[in-house]
C-alpha cells in the first residue's frame, strides 16, 4: 500500500469538504455595511429589519417614533405660541421680534430639543445593536456550518486502519 497516495487523497478530501462548508457559511452570512448605514441615516429599525433582528426593528421604530412625535408636537406648540404671541403683538402695536417667553413656548422648545436628543441617542443605540446582533449572528452561522474532519484509528485483528470521520 502506498501511504503517500493515501495521505494525498485524504488531504484533498479534507480540503474539498472544508471548502464546501466555508462556501455555505459565506453565502449565509449577513453583510453589515448597508444595515448599519440605514440604522444611522434612516432609523426606525430599518437596519435591524434588514438583518432579521425583529426585536431591534420594533425597538428602533418605537423609540424613533416617540422622539419624532415629541419633536412634531413641540413644533406645533411653538407654531401656536408664535401665532398667538404675534397676533397679540399685532393688536397692541408692538413691533419687537418674537421670543420664547410663554410657558407653552418653553414647553414646546423643550419637546423639540428632547425629541431630537431621543432620536440622536436612538440612532447610536440602533447602530450598536445592529452591529452586535449581526456579528453574533454571523458567528453562529460559521459555527453551524463548520465541518470537523478527523482521522480515527480502528484496530483490526492484523492491522490498524485509519478512517476519516467527517461531522457537520
Determine the average pLDDT of the residues in 23-49. Answer: 75
pTM: 0.64
First to last CA, the chain: 30
pLDDT of residue 93 exceeding 70, the answer is no
Confidence band for 146, pLDDT divided at 50, 70 and 90: low
- d(CA 5, CA 13) in angstroms, rounded, equals 12
Percentage above 90 pLDDT, the chain? 29
Average of per-residue pLDDT across 90-104: 75
Min mean pLDDT across 49-53, 72-76, 111-115 is at: 49-53
| For residue 76, pLDDT beyond 80 | yes
Domain residue limits at 69: 3-167
155: left (phi over 0), alpha (psi -120 to 50) or beta: beta
Cα distance between residue 124 and residue 110, in whole Å: 21
Cell numbers for 38? 440605514
Distance CA 12, CA 6 (A): 10
Instruction: Express as a percent the part of the chain with pLDDT over 70.
Output: 69
Q: What pLDDT, on the 0 to 100 scale, is given for residue 23?
A: 47
Count of domains for the chain: 1
At residue 65 the predicted structure's pLDDT band, cuts being 50, 70 and 90, is very high
Cell of residue 61, nine digits: 421604530
Residue 20 has pLDDT above 50, yes or no: no
Q: In whole numbers, what is the pLDDT of the chain averaged over residues?
A: 78
DSSP 79-101: HHHHHHHHHHHHHHT--PPP---
Amino acid at each position: 500500500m502506498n501511504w503517500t497516495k493515501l495521505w494525498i487523497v485524504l488531504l484533498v478530501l479534507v480540503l474539498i469538504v472544508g471548502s464546501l462548508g466555508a462556501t455555505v457559511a459565506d453565502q449565509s452570512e449577513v453583510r453589515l455595511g448597508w444595515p448599519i448605514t440605514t440604522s444611522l441615516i434612516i432609523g426606525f429599525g430599518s437596519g435591524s429589519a434588514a438583518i432579521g433582528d425583529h426585536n431591534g426593528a420594533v425597538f428602533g421604530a418605537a423609540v424613533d417614533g416617540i422622539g419624532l412625535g415629541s419633536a412634531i408636537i413641540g413644533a406645533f406648540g411653538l407654531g401656536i405660541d408664535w401665532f398667538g404671541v404675534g397676533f397679540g403683538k399685532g393688536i397692541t402695536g408692538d413691533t419687537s421680534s418674537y421670543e420664547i417667553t410663554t410657558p407653552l413656548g418653553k414647553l414646546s422648545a423643550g419637546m423639540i430639543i428632547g425629541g431630537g436628543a431621543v432620536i440622536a441617542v436612538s440612532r447610536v443605540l440602533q447602530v450598536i445593536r445592529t452591529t452586535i446582533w449581526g456579528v453574533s449572528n454571523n458567528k453562529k452561522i460559521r459555527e453551524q456550518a463548520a465541518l470537523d474532519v478527523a482521522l480515527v484509528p480502528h484496530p483490526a485483528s492484523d492491522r490498524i486502519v485509519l478512517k476519516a470521520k467527517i461531522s457537520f
